Structure 1
């Protein structure tokens, strides 16, 4: 038998085991092997029922994603064809599900007549995260099995459900006592079916799925959900496929699903999301660091600072079951910080994300202290104090004295020189930057800043730990602002300057949100705090001392105490989170433009788009050329996970490739020539961009 499959017959039962580690991805070779094995069992007169299960800890995590977008995706037998043929077997086919049954793996289980799972099983259809929809019968068979509303929820959310919920919905027929007894339970289930003379395929509970929802269900669903889908194609295609399940017979519905899947697979959005999928897996591979490097143990963590950021950082580790000591200077600040953490957990309980017992378990892992001696045995210490170099350096001098040898000392700085922080210690090899993004307990991005002397095992340990706490970790070298905030500077610069030149804040932000960003640059400045933006800019003022024009609007708002949402006034007026335009900001920009002799004019959407986005892209390419970022994909991960850049666009550099690198370069040249001295100062193309275009390259890579 094929090495991807194990096949045995006992007591009239054919046991077919998927054995393609690590996740039993349903690539062409495994699909062919499954078909051969099932046909063999079907033609064997001694076989009365067939059990399909996965080797090791899981059934199947789905299709082979590397095949998408290529001929291999539908190489014979295609997954839809394989599953259709399985539904035609005249013997009971039982899927014994362990660990994960996701995507194509769950569709394979749906093609079986019966399903049994184990308690830790998770089942889901996450194709939407790749800009796809289930394309092997999931949108047609699942609504007929569990009803339209829960099926649609699984596909639109992409989130897995647990075994108990699956049993409740009817997605599972039985639940084994444990993963270890799953196969035996499946055998017993098969014998029970044979004893009861059960049909090869039972009647589905919702043979007419439309009857499971109200007549106006799809109309109401669109009205409710489409506004938050923005420009995303995949949710609309999922909805269309499920709607087809309600108006078409199964075979016609399968054909409609396949057409919609191919539309999604061929889309630029799916290509962008697949780019990010592979970029995330590549981000943890660091040149020169072996995958089997010995890691430092991290069993206890300390966080210096109990403010919003420090508390959020501490929650990440408590959530992962790692004890955390939170240190503050004053008892009032410590009590306030721990109380905020509890409130955050209580909010999760109220939203059904946690239960009360889990809340208390996590709070018990958090201990507050005012004494540095209490963090002496921590394996990892993360400083999260005020963003000022001298203050952080003093903290690290103290850590150097009190922390045990081999402890990893990390700074949560968002822009400061990690080499300068490490230099005040006698152990610079143990120092690293861990830039969490606010709110730290929610945001997935973690910039891991590798200082000049950071030891390889320190870097490797923090990357592994980032996975443990659910973060997307991207390695950055040391420079002002690292990857994300350094790119934010020219992006923000153009947004501010465009307001000075005549665009309203709403017009600037509207162009950016039309692309799919969560919020525009000026709204983001108001949210983060104009005061914070001022202080970061002020600490780097020498970089633009010869041109004081673009930040004058931001400086003026700062001097007026208009700090953004927190004060109710910034680039916009706020009532709670409701934002309104403010004519005073336009008048302020007009006055400042007059003082600076900046001509105000009508500015079109294309110019707003190009100036903000091309400068963002240009800075990213420069970071790659300097070696601050290791890969173009790393830069895209930073901006999609930390700054609200739409994942379905793929990140700034992937977007540049879709626009055309020559178009980006031409645009930079155009504004350099048309914007006078300002253009000559700021619109300087990255040398790597020029080299790529000159070489006829369409992909961004170091050359």
Structure 2
């Protein structure tokens, strides 16, 4: 027997009902799905012939999560807690059979069932904090009854997505199906012998442990300025100290308040921006090529990180260096990277060993004859890259994608040396490449649409936030960052201290200040770009020579033990340096500049105005397709605070006259050479 609605249908297997959730494309928890599910549970609860129910998603997912578009206004009835209450009140046990993703409200629905069995590809978790809210349908109350308070704080505040094996180990799944999920779920359901197993009636383990304090500290440090993190911690702790119904009602109230907060609106904007960035109208009808084997040429810090990205995603990777010594060093970097991942708990030793087993190191470029994609990560030098790609073109198969990881150079200029320039695209990773989520796919004027589509498909497999950029100096991110960093250098020249600028921007929400970033990446990288552009620089435009003086003094950042900061006591933590202060003071004196004080607000206003102005120029020049792409780039690649949505979203929240005033101040402060974007 089959009963069908638009998105929910009921099938029978004897006295077992299988409720199938069919809401393509991703099985989101929409009003229609909730209505259909509630009606199905109520209908079955009135049927005395039903001994139990299996809930199962149709397609790729159980329920991928809530429909976030609903969150900006009044929530439509029935809301999820009503559906879960009906499942708990049902006279028979209900088993959630989880295929694919059960995230957010999807996993909360599963937690409201009497048991949970997952397919081998199941993925469960409560990522709401990353969207500026907390689980609002019992997640903070039921999960602690499975995994304890400490682990719940960790999982919920990290927004962790837990794979089936780990979820089973933690107790988030009761069993894993290795064959037929539907049949195994029915078998598991029958083993319950009609008995209910409600988490709402279960005790909470580890009520008072030192680990709870540890996890609270980690969670708050990792969610700076996100109110949802503290709210989630408080709600989770209530699971151990208050009656279930009381704590559940408080959870819902907090959820309802947070979903309308400025942070939640901004984070939802960022979520949709990342999704929209992958939709390229010009590539909609273009088929991507299959990529299984990847070559990486140049295995310094960046190349090693790129190799790890692909190894982690299951690709076979061949790494190339000219000299055996450099190759050995590259292999060691990759090996050390996996040691770190295992130590941090991101991979098991067997997973790391599997990754290393798919790595082929060689100094012979002819080994790339079977590669589907080759990425270069060599020195940032135009002639060197031109020579390399002219050679690669004669080695790799004609279907293979050729990609450069250049940060600034013109893609078309590199392609000029190739017989078929359409083969070349940019795939700009961000350091450390295995940790940073951004990937700029760069299109030159002659780049093949098929190769661009292939790069986007690869980006999805790597789990990257992938954005299309047109070829131009610095593309999207580095062009904006250069303007932002330049304005910070202006302020130091005018009287601000580097540490004052960094502190103001970190307080605003940036992961790091610009001078800490420069020390991390190396001051010589920016200097090489300044030297390359020196011949075309407007001699009347402002130019700060302090970074050049630091480089001339051998202060290149962390790698030399000193840059803007001193790292002699701790190679990872810089402290203000009197030598830097002396260099800054001398530069001001040579220009006759009298230092003036800066407020934190003035620093932030100047920086944000510079970022927004340059971002608008990037749009005007056609380098980025849409404003939301810029928000994705700055959040995922440059440490812009995600809870502010991105610089373009931030600017949209300001009154027009206030934004105009900031631009006026920026133009006055910068002087000759300033290019102001259209309003």
Q: TM-score range by the shorter chain?
A: over 0.9
Pairing 1:45–2:48 present: yes
Pairing 1:562–2:561 present: no
Q: Quick one: distance in 1 between partners of 2:222 and 2:314?
A: 34
- Provide closer, same or farther for how the CA distance between residues 203 and 661 of structure 1 changes in structure 2, counting only shifts above 3 A: closer
Pairing 1:636–2:635 present: no
Aligned to 2:677: 686
Q: Output the TM-score relative to the length of structure 1.
A: 0.91
Alignment map for 1:111-130 (pairs within 5 Å): 111-130=112-131
Q: CA RMSD in A?
A: 2.2
CA contact (8 A) 2:10 2:40 kept: yes
Alignment map for 1:541-560 (pairs within 5 Å): 541-542=534-535, 544-547=537-540, 549-560=542-553
Q: Could you tell me how far 1:416 is from its partner in structure 2?
A: 0.6
Q: Quick one: distance in 2 between partners of 1:543 and 1:521?
A: 25
Q: Could you tell me how far 1:624 is from its partner in structure 2?
A: 0.7
SS at match of 1:599: coil
Pairing 1:306–2:299 present: yes
SS at match of 2:511: coil
- Provide closer, same or farther for how the CA distance between residues 46 and 228 of structure 1 changes in structure 2, counting only shifts above 3 A: closer
Q: Could you tell me how far 1:510 is from its partner in structure 2?
A: 0.7
Cα-to-partner distance string for 1:649-671 (whole Å, 9 max, x where unaligned): 11211121123444222112134
Q: Quick one: distance in 2 between partners of 1:293 and 1:352?
A: 39
SS at match of 2:134: coil
CA contact (8 A) 2:667 2:676 kept: no
CA contact (8 A) 1:4 1:18 kept: yes
Cα-to-partner distance string for 1:521-564 (whole Å, 9 max, x where unaligned): 11111111111121122212345432464421111111111111
Q: Quick one: distance in 2 between partners of 1:438 and 1:557?
A: 23
Aligned to 1:350: 343
Alignment map for 1:574-585 (pairs within 5 Å): 574=567, 575=569, 576-585=571-580
Cα-to-partner distance string for 1:428-464 (whole Å, 9 max, x where unaligned): 1111111111122222211111001111111111111
Pairing 1:481–2:478 present: no
Q: Quick one: distance in 1 between partners of 2:422 and 2:167?
A: 49
Q: Quick one: distance in 1 between partners of 2:165 and 2:236?
A: 24
SS at match of 1:68: helix
- Provide closer, same or farther for how the CA distance between residues 50 and 359 of structure 1 changes in structure 2, counting only shifts above 3 A: closer
Q: Quick one: distance in 1 between partners of 2:117 and 2:328?
A: 49
Aligned to 1:402: 395
Pairing 1:11–2:14 present: yes
Aligned to 1:246: 240
Aligned to 1:696: none
Q: 1:315 aligns with which of 308, 311, 318?
A: 308
Aligned to 1:192: 191
Aligned to 2:149: 148
Q: Quick one: distance in 2 between partners of 1:349 and 1:217?
A: 21
- Provide closer, same or farther for how the CA distance between residues 388 and 473 of structure 1 changes in structure 2, counting only shifts above 3 A: same
Aligned to 1:158: 159
Alignment map for 1:332-343 (pairs within 5 Å): 332-343=325-336
Pairing 1:100–2:81 present: no
Q: Output the TM-score relative to the length of structure 2.
A: 0.94
CA contact (8 A) 2:157 2:219 kept: no
Aligned to 2:450: 457
Q: 1:615 aligns with which of 601, 610, 632?
A: 610
Cα-to-partner distance string for 1:354-389 (whole Å, 9 max, x where unaligned): 334433332232222323322234222212111011
- Provide closer, same or farther for how the CA distance between residues 491 and 175 of structure 1 changes in structure 2, counting only shifts above 3 A: closer
Q: Could you tell me how far 1:49 is from its partner in structure 2?
A: 2.2
Q: 1:602 aligns with which of 589, 597, 600?
A: 597
Q: 2:649 aligns with which of 641, 645, 654?
A: 654
CA contact (8 A) 2:112 2:199 kept: no
- Provide closer, same or farther for how the CA distance between residues 167 and 617 of structure 1 changes in structure 2, counting only shifts above 3 A: same
227-236 vs 33-42, which moves further: 227-236
Q: Quick one: distance in 2 between partners of 1:387 and 1:598?
A: 34
SS at match of 1:353: coil
Unaligned runs of 5+ in 2: none
Q: Quick one: distance in 2 between partners of 1:337 and 1:223?
A: 36
CA contact (8 A) 2:42 2:86 kept: no
Q: Quick one: distance in 1 between partners of 2:176 and 2:351?
A: 25
Q: Quick one: distance in 1 between partners of 2:170 and 2:340?
A: 28
- Provide closer, same or farther for how the CA distance between residues 558 and 171 of structure 1 changes in structure 2, counting only shifts above 3 A: closer
Q: Quick one: distance in 1 between partners of 2:388 and 2:199?
A: 67
102-111 vs 155-164, which moves further: 155-164
SS at match of 1:443: coil
- Provide closer, same or farther for how the CA distance between residues 220 and 370 of structure 1 changes in structure 2, counting only shifts above 3 A: closer
Cα-to-partner distance string for 1:474-518 (whole Å, 9 max, x where unaligned): 111111111111111111111111111111111111110001111
Q: Quick one: distance in 1 between partners of 2:52 and 2:622?
A: 59
Aligned to 2:584: 589
Q: Quick one: distance in 1 between partners of 2:434 and 2:572?
A: 21
Alignment map for 1:42-81 (pairs within 5 Å): 42-71=45-74, 74-81=75-82
- Provide closer, same or farther for how the CA distance between residues 320 and 243 of structure 1 changes in structure 2, counting only shifts above 3 A: closer
Pairing 1:35–2:43 present: no
CA contact (8 A) 1:549 1:596 kept: no
- Provide closer, same or farther for how the CA distance between residues 489 and 644 of structure 1 changes in structure 2, counting only shifts above 3 A: same
SS at match of 1:614: helix
SS at match of 1:51: strand
SS at match of 2:250: helix
- Provide closer, same or farther for how the CA distance between residues 12 and 356 of structure 1 changes in structure 2, counting only shifts above 3 A: closer
Q: Could you tell me how far 1:326 is from its partner in structure 2?
A: 1.9
Aligned to 1:695: none
Aligned to 1:84: 85
Q: Could you tell me how far 1:222 is from its partner in structure 2?
A: 4.1
Q: Quick one: distance in 2 between partners of 1:650 and 1:129?
A: 12
CA contact (8 A) 1:99 1:122 kept: yes
Alignment map for 1:159-238 (pairs within 5 Å): 159-178=160-179, 180=180, 182-194=181-193, 198-199=195-196, 201=198, 204-206=201-203, 209=204, 212-214=206-208, 221-223=215-217, 225-238=219-232
Cα-to-partner distance string for 1:187-208 (whole Å, 9 max, x where unaligned): 23333333xx5247477431xx
Unaligned runs of 5+ in 1: 691-703
SS at match of 1:277: helix
